[in-house]
């Protein structure tokens, strides 16, 4: 029910923005470099490589200041005892954007991510063992050339994703993700 409500809200927002000709829409995708910070155990922090893809919308309020919104599927996770675990998220990133000269920009905002699934070797699904929601702070920089946009972002997870008390998992885990993205503006 929550997913249906969320999808309906997103369609209403997208419809409202679609009526405005000054809003830019596009598709984007790229590389996630994931690590997970652990508390309470002595795991070596290793980086996982994965991907993200989705759509974006940009509304500029004046020459310099705008609002960038992204809806994306993103794979995060890390390693526990040298075994890779994968967290699949549907993420919404509302961000403020400051444009310097029409080419370079900086971005700051948040990511609201809903867990879709969780994988760990030897199990079918661990979704019920992880927190269903992840909240992150997002800092980034971007460059726009013609219809192409390139973005670099760092996502700092604030939510403990393992707060369900799983014996095999550390008592506190936070997602850390570095995203490298390439996007194409459609309109």
20/141: higher pLDDT: 141
Of 54-63, 80-89, 161-170, 173-182, give the lowest mean pLDDT range: 161-170
Of 4-13, 36-45, 70-79, 171-180, give the lowest mean pLDDT range: 4-13
Secondary structure element (H or E) that encloses residue 45, with its range? none
Of 21-25, 39-43, 98-102, 169-173, give the lowest mean pLDDT range: 39-43
For residue 127, the 8-state DSSP code is G
The domain tally of the chain equals: 1
The residue segments making up the domain with residue 149 are 2-185
Q: What is the rounded (10 degree) CA torsion for 157, 53, 67, 58?
A: 170
Q: Long-range contacts for 163-169 (Cβ within 8 Å, ≥24 apart)?
A: 163/131, 164/128, 164/129, 164/130, 164/131, 166/126, 166/129, 168/80, 169/80, 169/129
What pLDDT is recorded for position 162?
77
What pLDDT is recorded for position 129?
75
Q: Using 50, 70 and 90 to split pLDDT, how confident is the model at 10? A: low
41/108: higher pLDDT: 108
Region 140-167 average pLDDT = 87
The alpha helices in the chain, defined as continuous H runs, are 2-18
- How far apart CA 123 and CA 85 sit, in angstroms, is 10
- CATH number of domain containing 171: 2.40.160.20
What pLDDT is recorded for position 178?
95
């Amino acid at each position: 029910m929550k997913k249906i409500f969320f999808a309906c809200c997103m369609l209403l927002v997208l419809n409202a923005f679609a009526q405005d000709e000054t809003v830019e829409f596009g598709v984007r995708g790229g590389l996630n470099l994931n690590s997970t910070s652990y508390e309470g155990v002595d795991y070596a922090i290793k980086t996982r490589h994965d991907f993200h893809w989705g759509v974006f919308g940009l509304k500029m309020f004046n020459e310099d200041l705008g609002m960038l919104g992204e809806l994306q599927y993103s794979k995060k996770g890390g390693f526990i005892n040298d075994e890779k675990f994968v967290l699949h998220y549907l993420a919404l990133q509302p961000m403020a954007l400051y444009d310097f000269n029409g080419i370079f920009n900086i971005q700051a905002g948040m990511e609201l991510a809903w867990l879709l699934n969780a994988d760990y070797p030897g199990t079918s699904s661990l979704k019920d063992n992880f927190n269903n929601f992840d909240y992150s702070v997002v800092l980034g920089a971007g460059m726009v050339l013609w219809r192409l946009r390139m973005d670099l972002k760092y996502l700092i997870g604030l939510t403990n994703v393992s707060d369900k008390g799983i014996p095999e998992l550390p008592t506190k885990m936070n997602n850390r993700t570095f995203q490298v993205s390439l996007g194409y503006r459609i309109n």
